[in-house]
Structure 1
Amino acid sequence: MACSSFMNLNASSSQWINQRSIPSCPFSNRRIFLVRAGAYNDELVKTAKTIASPGRGILAIDESNATCGKRLASIGLDNTEANRQAYRQLLLTTPGLGEYISGAILFEETLYQSTTDGKKFVDCLIVQNIVPGIKVDKGLVPLPGSNNESWCQGLDGLASRSAEYYKQGARFAKWRTVVSIPCGPSALAVKEAAWGLARYAAISQNNGLVPIVEPEILLDGVHPIERTLEVAERVWSEVFYYLAENNVMVEGILLKPSMITPGAEHKEKASPDTIANYTITMLRRRVPPAVPGIMFLSGGQSEVQATLNLNAMNQTLNPWHVSFSYARALQNTVLKTWKGQPENIELAQKALLKRAKANSLAQLGKYSADGESDHAKKGMFDKGYTY
C-alpha cells in the first residue's frame, strides 16, 4: 500500500495495519493506530460534541461522601445521606442551569438518588439537556517504589460497573489521577498515571461512556510556571502515547487538564494572559485537534481567578472547545449562601447560575470581573488537598 493511500484512510476504519507492511512509508518506524469500529462510536462522538457545546461547561459534583461531608461541615451540617441529597438536589434542580452547563459529573450515590419528591436526579439533568456523568475511579493510594507518590485504583470491575452506569443514564465518565511536581515527578508515577488513564478510557468507550481524561498536575510547590509547562508536556505526551496503544478514539474523549500556573507557593503570581499563553502552548504541542473539548479543572484557584484564566484562553481561536469542569470554583459561594437552610435555596441557586453564567461568558471570551465580590476572589488552595 502506498504511503499516501495509507495516510488517507478514514479514522473510523476497522482495519488494523502493521507498519511493517508499508516499508516505503517515511512514517514506518512509528506506531500508527487506526480506531477499530465500535458499537458506540457514533454515540460517543455525539455525546462529546454535546458536552463541548458553545458557552457551556461541566458542573463537577463528584466529591466522595467523605469530601462532601467536609463541605457540609463547613456550614455546620452533619455528613448524612439526607444532607448530601438536599445539597445535590439544590444544585441539580436549579432552573435554567442547562443554558450554561452541558454535563454534570456525579458520585455513584448521586447517580442512583432521586429528589425528595421522587424524581431521579438523572432525569432532572436530561430535561435541561445536561448530560449525566459518573466518577468511576476508586481514589488514590500510595505507589510503591515511587518518590512518595500516588496511583489511582479502580480498573478491577470497571467494565461491569460502566455497563451498569450506562443503564442508569450516565453517558460520560471521569477518572482522576494526580502528578506532583515537588515529588519529581518520577518516571514511574507518570507512566502509571498515563497507563491507568488509557486503560480506563478504552474500557469506558467500550461501554458507551465518553471518558474524561484527567491527569491533574497539583498546584502544590514553589516552582515557576516554566517547570509546570515542562512537566505538563511530559505527562500529556505519555498520556496520548498510551491512549494510542489502547486504541482509544480521540474524537470520543474529553480532557480535564490543569492550567499551566506557577506552584501555589511560588513567590511570583502569573497574570491570566501569562497563564493562558503557557497553557495554550502546551495544548498545541501535545493535544490533537481531533479532541472535541478541553474542560479545565480549577484546582484550588478562586472562583474569579479560574474564570479570568479561562476567559484569557478564549481570546484566541483554538481548534478545541476550551471550557470548564469546575467543582469548588462553581460551588463555593453556593454552599456559603445556602447554609443548609431551606429558605436560602432560591438564593443559593441564583448564586450557582451567576457563577455558571460567568464561566459561560469566559468560554466565549466575553467575561469581565467587574462587580465580583471579594469572597469570589478568595483562593481555595489547600496544600496536600485530597477528595
Structure 2
Amino acid sequence: MKTRTRRTVLVTSAAVLAAAVGVIALSGFHTGVRELEQPAAGAENSELTTSERIGIRTFEPPAGITVDPDVVYGTSNDGVLLTLDVCTPPDVAADASATNAPATDASAAGPGGSSTPGPGDADTGDTEQAGTDRSDAATGDTGDTGDTGDTGDTEQSIARETVLSIHGGSWARGDKGNPDWRSVCEWLASEGFVALSVDYRLAPHAVFPAALDDLRLALEWAREPANAQEYGIDPTRIAAFGGSAGGNLAALLGLDGEGELTEGSRVAAVAELSGPVELSAAALENAPDGLVLSVLSYLGCESFDDCPAAKDASPLTHIDASDPPVFIGHSLDEFVPLSQSKDFAAALSAAGVESRLMVVPGADHSIGILDETMRAAVAEFLHRALAAGERPRGT
C-alpha cells in the first residue's frame, strides 16, 4: 500500500520570512539562513544498525496517509533553516466532510484495536488503562471532536491529537526522512494522530541545548493558529515521542519548564523508548564507552569533571508534580542500561507523575522494540493522556 505525498514548504513566521530575505540581500557577505546539514536520508542513518525486520519495520502503512515533507518550521539562532515532515491520518478528508455531523458511535472517533501487555511489562505510578479499545479510550475521543470552527473548507478542518516525533542517532546523526522514522511518522498517523517528524541540529557542530531549542521552536510553530488550521493540529493536545537520543529529548521537552502543558513549548504527554535520561558519570558507569563518548560530544564537554550541562540535559533531574504522563519502553539487555529507565519510572512515581514502564526481552534498541504490541501500548497511552479535558495523574 502506498501513501500519498504532497510537497509543501510552509513559512509562517515573519522572522523566518525576514531571514529568508536576508539570504538574498546579504548573499555577497555569505551570511543568512542556511539549510540544515543532515546526513543523507537512508537506512544507514537509523539507530537500527541491523538489517532485520524488527520493531517499526513490521509496520505496514494503510492507504491514504498523507506525507508533507520538508515543511519549514523556523530558523535557529545560528541561521539554520529547520524542517519537519507532517503525516496526516487517512480519514482526514472524510472527517472534514462530516465536521458538523455528530458522531453516532465510538468507532467514528478513531482507530480501534486492543492493547495487550508484552512480556516483562511492568507498570509504575498510575497505570490503569481506560478500556482495551483505543477507539473508546477516554470516553471515545481520539481527536476528532476538536472542531476549530471551520465548516470543512479545508481537509484538516478538525483539530486532532498531535505527536512530535523525534528521531534518534546519538544526537549526532539520524534524519526524519530515513525509512525507519518515516514509518514511525506513518504509524502515528495510522493511529489517528497528526504526526510532526522533526529534524534538529546535531552534535558535535551544535551542542546542548541546540536540539532542545529546535524542538521548542517546532512546538511553537505547531501552535501558530494558521499552522494548526492547515494541518488539523489541536494546539492543546500535543505529545512528544522519541527513541534513543530522541527519547532523551522527548522526555526533556516534557519535563523541563513550567506552566500549562497546553501552551508554548510544553507537551501534554511523553512516550520514549531506550532514552538515556540521566547523563551523569555515575548513571553511565556501566554504559558502553561509545554511549559515554556520544553523551560528552552532545554536551560539549571533554569529561564529566566540569560539565554542568550534564544535569541540565538529564530529564530525571527536572521531574516535578506538574509534569505530563510518561510512557517508558526498554529492552532487557540493550546497551542503554535498563537502570536508566527503572530509576526514571521510580522518580516519576515518587513525584506523583503517572508513568508506565514496559520492559521487553532481548537486546533490541529504540524503535527496534516498536513492534505491534509496543505500538498498541504506546498509542493507547498517548490517546488516553491527550484526551480532551483530562490529565491522568500518578498517586
- The TM-score range, normalised by the shorter chain, is 0.3 to 0.5
Name whichever structure is richer in strand by fraction: 2
TM-score normalised by structure 2 residue count:
0.33
Q: Give 1 or 2: higher helix fraction.
A: 1
Under a length normalisation based on structure 1, what TM-score does the superposition of the two structures give?
0.33
Which one has more relative contact order, counting CA pairs under 8 Å at least 6 apart?
2
